[in-house]
Structure formats: structure tokens, C-alpha cells
Amino acid sequence: MALTAAQMTDARRYMGYQAVGTTMTIDGNTDLVYASFGMVTMSLYTRLTTLTATEEAVLINTYLTNLATLETAIVGTSANLDTDQAAVWVHNKREQADRDRLFDSWRIRMCEFIGFPPGPNLGGGRNTILVRG
């Protein structure tokens, strides 16, 4: 079982890496993102395509599925932006910040599971090599 193209894209963006944005097919040698693991440098593409079936199942079922739900919930907070207080219900003014923090914590957990550092869009990228042609 291999990750679908959509799952690969979601994994990359949840990890904080930019879109590939090229018409060239990405493979282990043409990715834009690489990380060092001791003396080995590996592309993110290679890392995601060499997971075991069990690891892929965890990635999909535990991380990608739940991250999609958390991301949708952040967007859903816009429905309450106009309400400060209604009857006894009081809107949590920090709802979006709280949801953002929860979402990002799950993104970081996914990076840790994969063993790849968080990307620049997630405040990481210390041991990551970004290549632009």
C-alpha cells in the first residue's frame, strides 16, 4: 500500500513544507526538501515512500485523518467571530488560537513520527535542506 498523491501533498504541507509546484515528476532525487539523518541525507519523498505498511496506516489513520478534521475546525471558527456573548453561552475569544496550537502540536507529532524535522512553515527546518532550482 502506497500513499496517494493527495496524501503525500497533505503530509508535506502538514509538516510545514511548501508545495512542489513543478511539472517535473518528484522522486527521491528531484525533491525540493532533504534532511540529514546522521551521515545520510534523504529526501522527504524517499522518506514517505519507504514507510512500512504499518507505518503508513498510522500516518493515514492517526495523523492525516485527524489533522484534516482539526484544520477544518479552525476554518469553522469563523462562524463564531461575530458573537462575544449569547445568553449564558460566552464565546472563547481564544478559540482560534487554541485550535491553531492544537493543530500545530499534532503536526509536530506527525513530523516526530516520520522522523523528519518540521519545515519552515511550522517553525522548523533546522536540519533540513531546501533546494530551489
Task: For the chain, give every domain's residue range.
Answer: 5-130
What was the pLDDT predicted at 76?
82
d(CA 4, CA 93): 38
d(CA 23, CA 26): 9
What was the pLDDT predicted at 84?
60
Question: Which amino acid, residue 100?
Answer: D
What was the pLDDT predicted at 55?
97
What was the pLDDT predicted at 98?
87
What was the pLDDT predicted at 24?
72
Ranges of residues in the chain with a pLDDT under 70 are 22, 78-91, 124-133
